[in-house]
Chain A
Amino acid sequence: MATEVLVDVEVNGVAHQVRVPPRLLLSDLLRDRLGLTGTHLACEQGVCGACTVLLDGRPVRSCLLFGVQVDGQQVTTVEGLGDEQALHPVQQAFHDEHGMQCGFCTSGFLISTAAFLEEHPEPSDQEILDMLGGHLCRCTGYQNIIAAVRAAASRQEVPS
């Protein structure tokens, strides 16, 4: 039986300390230990993107990280993007453009898109497609997701 490891991790701005077996995936740590079930599992092999979270601000697959690895780091999940009173602009755009249907893949798209638009405030179509390539959706056919990303981009204030 592998020794459990103490992990200090800040998730959505809240500090947590948990004792976990090394093999507990970060995705399961977030979902089952911390009750943050907005991050979804659809493949557990890093392909589909549904489990994407921000690790120190960068989109990564939480199904390909062990909880023990993020000791001392900051994680942002979809729950940290916006709240009932104020949706994140990307969340708002996905709603406005009907960019979601069943919602299962959506959290991952939101996380990636939010980070992407901070890095690329005026993205080209190709840059958008490259970013979206890391996420699978089975419901929407992507057309409205692309529209949502563009809508979110155009609403961002462009630094003058």
Chain B
Amino acid sequence: MKPAEFDYVRPTTISGAVDVLASEPDESRVLAGGQSLVPLMNFRLAAPGLLVDINRIDELNHIEQRDGGVAIGAIARQADAEASPIVQSACPLVADALHYVGHPQLRNRGTVVGSLAHHDPAAELPAVAVALNARMTLVGPAGQRLVDADEFFTSHFTTTAEADELLTEAWFPAQGSGVGSAFVEIARRPGDFAIVGVAAVLEVSDDTVTAARVAVSGMGARPIRCVAVEATVTGRPAVDESFARAAAVVPDEARLSPSDDVHATASYRRSVLPVLIESAMAKAAARAG
């Protein structure tokens, strides 16, 4: 399990990276954390002719408050985001979910943005990005564009990023006060990809849920907002009964399309999703305010 040959470049600027991607859009792949890409290369399931190592581009190495949210640069490590006081206070859902991503040793190298760019539909961070309506910054030869999380994730391992574009940053809006969030998942073992994962964000005021965003992973080719669940819980008292009633409308979520795989059946996923939604909402509500 050794990788196939490739050429290697290590630009030091964003524009340098984009130039390379633009010159070899079919053969080039971006190497950030490598925790998803390199296993694929070792298995020879991926064999890019040109690896663009962005790990020395200083402009990509930030976790900072900006524009009422937190901007996480492309090479900021998952472990650093998880430990960051900025992330923990402004976007606690991100820090929460990171705890479930792999293991500490993988998070030391894996990147938040890389996980979003890779978009494994069983991964935790894409669902978090959708739950918080994060915004991606893509830089290509034509310049920079911003894409909301709702649009960014298109299908398994596919996003709206073009082959000649670099995802330079993910910006997460601050959750704000009166908002509680939680990430829960079922996995075969701690640290495994989620069989089903739920990211819930509830805004609570006067003990009433005034807004809800519930995004799930593992229920289709991309993170799915459970709009029927959100509608059912919005305006209700922030109590367990409301969460149970909201979870009960999961069968009405038309966009869910789970599959069978070696870890769980589609039927199992449908069965446990309401349990996780209930649990996530209860936790989120408890943390609001």
Contact = CB atoms under 8 A, between A and B. Distances in A.
A52 interface: yes
29 contacts: A22-B6, A22-B7, A22-B8, A25-B3, A28-B2, A44-B2, A44-B39, A45-B1, A49-B103, A49-B105, A52-B105, A55-B109, A59-B104, A59-B108, A60-B105, A61-B35, A61-B109, A64-B34, A64-B109, A65-B109, A66-B38, A66-B51, A68-B8, A69-B31, A69-B55, A130-B104, A133-B191, A134-B102, A134-B103
A28 B104 CA distance: 23
Contacts, number: 93
Contacts of A22: 5-8, 51
Interface in B106-151: 106, 108-109
A65 B34 contact: yes
A153 interface: no
Interface stretch (A1-9, A77-85, A86-94, A139-147): A1-9
A46 B191 CA distance: 12
A2 B48 CA distance: 12
A3 B7 contact: yes
Interface in B78-119: 79, 99, 102-106, 108-109
Contacts of A55: 108-109
Q: Nearest 3 CB-CB pairs, A to B?
A: A134-B103, A22-B8, A45-B39
B190 A133 contact: yes
B1 A44 contact: yes
Please indicate which of the listed interface residues B7, B42, B99 has the most CB atoms of chain A within 10 Å of its own CB: B42
A58 interface: yes
Contact of A130 (B3, B103, B109): B103
Interface of B: 1-8, 10, 31, 34-35, 38-39, 42-43, 51, 53, 55, 79, 99, 102-106, 108-109, 189-191
A23 B3 contact: yes
Given A23-B5, A46-B39, A130-B103, A58 B189 contact: no
Contacts of B43: 45
B130 to A, nearest CB: 26
Contacts of A52: 105
Contact of A64 (B2, B38, B55): B38
Please indicate which of the listed interface residues A2, A3, A22, A59 has the most CB atoms of chain B within 10 Å of its own CB: A22
Contacts of A28: 2
A57 to B, nearest CB: 10
A64 B35 contact: yes
A5 B9 CA distance: 10
